Structure 1
Amino acid sequence: MTRLIAPLLLVVFALVPLWLKDPYLLNALIITGIFTICAMSLNLLLGFTGQLSLGHVAFFGIGAYVSALTALGFDVSLPFGLRVTHEGGSPLLGFCLAIVITGACGYLIGRLSFRVRGAYFVIVTISFAEVVRLVALNWVELTQGPLALTSIPNMALVLPGIGEMTLRTKMENYYLVLVLAAASYLVVARLVGSRFGRAMRGLKENESLALSLGINATRTLTVAATVSAAMAGGAGSLYAHYIRIIDPDVFLFSYTVTMVIMVVSGGKGTLAGPLVGGIIFGLLPVALRPVMAPEAQWIVYGGILIAILFVMPRGIVPALEGFARRRPKAAAQPKPLEAGANP
């Protein structure tokens, strides 16, 4: 049953622009799709390896800045009298560089921090995100600091036989995000279903047993961190070219909290969990905004999360899977005979 969730969601959301003409709601769906990609990337670590990263927003922000600076260009002074100048390039090149550079950052952080576990790893990831935020805030010559990078060009695709196509409308950006979200889902599904994915789950369930079977824990977790960071960096690139303005607030800790909420509420360790959680908690603020004040929105937001986890501790998707398994068993059980009835 739950295997059909992702294909059904893809079909449903592919048809949305055909009837939804409200640009505000379409904008909300685009932002929700971008953060759902981030949630899928975080689920690769949190759900399938059991490693909680509270600095995941760092990769999202790095991807946004790398892609924006690649498209805009820069001229910065470095130590020893060096100067680096870039005249600006294609947004598509920026998107590719964002994936490569954030993947490299994820690899380095994994190699350094996966020698520790638990709270120590969480502290390392939070510290990394804060350092990156401070760099973006204070390296004004490169990032413009609190003044923000503005006039970031829209994403442009190179189509064979057609040439470069700039995605300016919300509908074009919507379908771009939808396609990349589907691609991210397939990457995670392929990775999790492979031998490498079984190694990740083994480390999560029983690390000592996995190590005794010859699984290299550091290498496995580092590869997962690399892929996870690269996906988050790609989402950051989409965000930068869609919003067209970014500042150090892109590293806000609340973004990481949003990703964690999407993963946990939907069901960590499941493929469809981040999709369901992303849709619910991505669109919930949009539904609450017209009817209540911002302070009340956060109260309702938190209350719904608590209610979901209280009723379904493992998340929505695992609860649906459990319900689907129990229903045929209940239907197959014979009904008790009524009093006085002949056997």
Structure 2
Amino acid sequence: MSRLLPLALLTSLVALPLALGSNPYLLNALITTGILTIAAMSLNLLLGFTGQLSLGHIAFFGIGAYVSALTSLGFDVEIGFGTRIVHEPWPAAVGFLLAILAAGACGYLIGRLSFRVRGAYFVIVTVSFAEVVRLVALNWVELTQGPLALTNIPVIALGAPGLGSWTLKTKLQNYYLVLAVGTLCYVIIARLVGSRFGRAMRGLKENESLALSVGINAARTLTVATVISAAMAGAAGSLYAHYLRIIDPDVFQFATTVTIVIMVVAGGKGTLMGPVVGGLIFGLLPVVLRPVMAPEAQWMIYGIVLIAILFVMPKGIVPGIAGLFARLRAARAVPVLEASPAVPR
């Protein structure tokens, strides 16, 4: 049953545009929700399976967005001593791959710096890193255009030599691109969590002292998890930049990190489906609230809904529903046991 649920959800998401009739407003909401859900899945790999809270996770998202945008736009920037770097525009698909590599490299740097310590130190390092990256994007105007934003970012085109290319211009095409990337990230995380490396991550989360005693290298395991998590966040940032076709330093807003954390916690951290369910709920909630209330009031509703979910299901929606079904199965099994004939001795 647990394997059928993701397949059922995927089938529903594939067929959803047919039911919506290609409504541009709802498709736009689904695309942005899908991008944030990919970021939430990447954060869950750290928060849910290793127990490490990254409040600067939006930095990897923004790095992916800027790297991909600059790769596809090109730039001409002076780096000092009369030296200039001139980069001609490359295809947006190459920018997508470079965004993954750049974000993963930054994740490696943060992991190497942070996992010699734990707890609040890791949180401080990630928040500080996000603020540094935001200030660079804001003030290095020659490269990033600062608050003026990078505009006219090319859309992603897919293709192969001899087969031509396919430019993803419409919302429907971008919807299926985001769905494909999200599905791939889900499969990678599922395979990773079910592997020996995944058991090492969970061991460090549950009992680090015991994990260390059986030979698990904590710093290396957590660093690799951060690299994979950051790379996925970078992929989400790249999709965001090429879909909106404009990017500015506001992409590093702390509020976006809070939204991603809410998606993970409400859906159920440490579960595969948790960030997906939480992402759909809190990603589409603004679509329902926007016509009836101001943005400030929407944050109040966010908080009320989150508190209500965690009050009823303290571990999140997915663990709460799984526990409910387990109790129902146990309740059904009791009458069967009572009605079964006694075994003669």
Superposition TM-score, scaled by structure 2 size: 0.95
Look up the equivalent residue of 2:7 and give its one-letter code: P
Distance 1:175 1:276 in 2: 18
Look up the equivalent residue of 1:246 and give its one-letter code: I
Alignment-derived partner of residue 8 in structure 2: 8
1:159 and 1:165 in contact (8 A); partners too: no
Runs of 4 or more consecutive aligned structure 1 residues displaced over 4 Å after TM superposition: none
Distance 2:92 2:150 in 1: 14
Alignment-derived partner of residue 268 in structure 2: 267
Identity fraction in percent: 73
Alignment-derived partner of residue 164 in structure 1: 165
State the Cα distance separating 1:289 from its structure 2 match.
1.0
- 1:14-33 deviations in Å (ceiling 9; x for gaps): 00111213201100000000
The DSSP-based 3-state class of the residue aligned with 1:305 is helix
The DSSP-based 3-state class of the residue aligned with 1:78 is strand
State the Cα distance separating 1:159 from its structure 2 match.
3.8
State the Cα distance separating 1:183 from its structure 2 match.
0.2
Two-structure CA RMSD over aligned residues (Å): 1.4
Distance 2:335 2:161 in 1: 62
- 1:302-322 deviations in Å (ceiling 9; x for gaps): 100100011111000001111
- 1:273-309 deviations in Å (ceiling 9; x for gaps): 0000000000001111112232322221210010001
Map 1:292-311 to 2 at 5 A: 292-311=293-312
- 1:131-152 deviations in Å (ceiling 9; x for gaps): 0000000000000000000000
The DSSP-based 3-state class of the residue aligned with 1:83 is strand
Alignment-derived partner of residue 178 in structure 1: 179
Superposition TM-score, scaled by structure 1 size: 0.96
Alignment-derived partner of residue 93 in structure 2: 92
1:28 and 1:283 in contact (8 A); partners too: yes
Distance 2:5 2:107 in 1: 30
Alignment-derived partner of residue 71 in structure 1: 72
Distance 2:47 2:161 in 1: 39
- 1:152-193 deviations in Å (ceiling 9; x for gaps): 011111146431111000000000000000000000001100
Distance 1:165 1:216 in 2: 45
Distance 2:229 2:327 in 1: 34
1:136 and 1:248 in contact (8 A); partners too: yes
State the Cα distance separating 1:325 from its structure 2 match.
1.2
Distance 1:178 1:230 in 2: 17
State the Cα distance separating 1:116 from its structure 2 match.
1.1
291-300 or 101-110, which moves further after superposition? 291-300
Distance 2:10 2:187 in 1: 12
324-333 or 228-237, which moves further after superposition? 324-333
State the Cα distance separating 1:6 from its structure 2 match.
1.7
- 1:82-114 deviations in Å (ceiling 9; x for gaps): 110001110000000000111011011101111
Alignment-derived partner of residue 341 in structure 2: none
Alignment-derived partner of residue 341 in structure 1: none
Distance 1:183 1:312 in 2: 29
Distance 2:259 2:4 in 1: 25
Distance 1:141 1:276 in 2: 41
Look up the equivalent residue of 1:296 and give its one-letter code: A
Alignment-derived partner of residue 18 in structure 2: 18
